[in-house]
Every structure is written in structure tokens, then in C-alpha cells.
Amino acid sequence: MNIAIFASGSGSNAENIAKYFQGNPNISVSLIVSNKKDAYVHQRAKNLGVESVSFSKEDFLSTDKVLKCLCTKDIEFIVLAGFLLKIPQNLIDAYPNGIINIHPALLPKYGGKGMYGDNVHKAVVGNREKESGITIHYVNENYDEGAIIFQAKCDVAPTDTYEDVAEKVHTLEYKHFPVVIDKLLEKEAGI
Ligand code: GAR
């Protein structure tokens, strides 16, 4: 099964997932897709020997270019890892239950438009939350509202800065995201 990972920025999760599946005979990260030409994820893809492509916001939202590219590469499953554009309806229709996202908080808290990356951790610290974590969920037409597949929690200490929370959340992401993808795809494919 060929997976595409969509990422808009650094791509540390994309790299972690691609490395996890290296050498797996059944599942392979064969494409990295971004909406930013200069995102660091392209450098990571190059280092990993994974093809990466970029499309403009216009390409994503108003054309079939992305879908055509995914079809050409036989992509069967899409993983959003720090991808900040809303997924257009044509992709949602083409991949029923075939697109998942990771969110750096315990949804339904701290989700929705504008809630991404450090914005989330700043809000968590600002509200003096005692815990945060990660949510892996299916993607539907609304930001952060698809069915939840998996959550994991971390403590937030009263002295934690948003950078401390970001680090704790990243640690959870690196540990759990590849394993959750693996289990989901194995179940689906009956491997
Ligand atoms: C990750 O923490 C991911 O959960 C978050 O962006 C970060 C990307 O880091 N995603 C969102 O906020 C989506 N709403 P990375 O580029 O180093 O993987």
C-alpha cells in the first residue's frame, strides 16, 4: 500500500513515519505533498529518497491536479502531518476513510480554524490546562471534526512554557503516530 504524507512545514513527523515504514514490504511512504515550495519537509524527503511535490493553494482548492498526481502514483492512503490547508471535497470524496490527521491537542478542545502548531500550545498554557496530548482522527469536511481513532495524554505542569508542551506533544507524536497508521492499515488490508 502506498501512502502519501501531506505536510506544510518542518516535516519532522513525515520523516519519522517514512523511517518507520522503511523496509516494510506491505506499506510504503511513496510521496510527500506540500502546499509550500520552500518547506523544510522537501529537504527531509530528499534525504530520505522519497519523492516530494508542491501544489499552490489554488491547485488544491480549485483543480484536480492533486488528485490526478495521487492517482498516477497509486496512492491509497493519505496522512496529514502538520498540513495546514483545509482538505478539499474532491479528495475527501476520492478517499472515504482514507485520510487521517494528527492534531497536537486533546480534541474536541483546542481544535478548529487557526488552531495549529504553537497556537495550540500557547492556548493550552494560557488556560492553565493540567494536561494536553495528541488526537489522531479521520478527516472530513470540517477542521478537526472527523471520528477520533486514538488519543494520548501528557501532563502540563504549572511552570511549563508553550515550548515545553510542544516538546511533550512531539514526543507523543513520534511514539504513537506511525504505530497507529501501521495498525489501521494492517487491519484494513487484512495483513
Ligand atoms: C505537529 O505537532 C502536528 O500535530 C501539528 O503541526 C505540527 C507539525 O510538526 N498539526 C497541526 O497543528 C494541525 N492542526 P512537523 O512539521 O515537525 O511534523
103 is catalytic: yes
Specify the ligand 1 atom closest to the Cα of 115: 14
Give the global pTM.
Answer: 0.96
Question: Could you tell me the distance, in angstroms and rounded to a whole number, from the CA of residue 104 to the centre of ligand 1?
Answer: 7
Confidence of residue 129 (pLDDT cuts 50, 70, 90): very high
Residue nearest (by alpha carbon) to ligand 1 atom 8: 82
Residue nearest (by alpha carbon) to ligand 1 atom 12: 116
Residue nearest (by alpha carbon) to ligand 1 atom 10: 82
Q: Domain residues of the chain, as ranges?
A: 2-189
What SS3 state is found at 26? coil
Q: 113 or 40, which is more confident?
A: 40
Residue nearest (by alpha carbon) to ligand 1 atom 11: 116
Sign of CA dihedral 150, 155, 159, 164: negative
Among 58, 141, 53, which residue's Cα sits nearest to residue 93? 141
- With 0-12 / 13-18 / 19 or more C-beta atoms within 10 angstroms meaning exposed / middle / buried, residue 1 is middle
What SS3 state is found at 40? coil
Backbone phi, psi, residue 14, to 5°: -60, -45
Least confident of 47-51, 53-57, 84-88: 84-88
For 66-125, write each residue's pLDDT tens digit: 999 999 999 999 999 999 999 999 999 999 999 999 999 999 999 998 999 999 999 999
Kindly tell me if the per-residue pLDDT of 191 is higher than 60. no
Q: 127 or 187, which is more confident?
A: 127
> 42, 103, 121, 137: which one is catalytic?
103
Query: Ligand 1: which of 116, 151, 168, 180 to mutate, most ligand atoms within 8 Å of CB?
Result: 116
Kindly tell me if the per-residue pLDDT of 146 is higher than 80. yes
For 7-37, write each residue's pLDDT tens digit: 999 999 999 999 999 999 999 999 999 999 9
Residue type, 96: P
Angle at 110 between CA 97 and CA 56, to 5 degrees: 60
Confidence of residue 133 (pLDDT cuts 50, 70, 90): very high
> Which CATH homologous superfamily contains domain 2-189?
Formyl transferase, N-terminal domain (3.40.50.170)
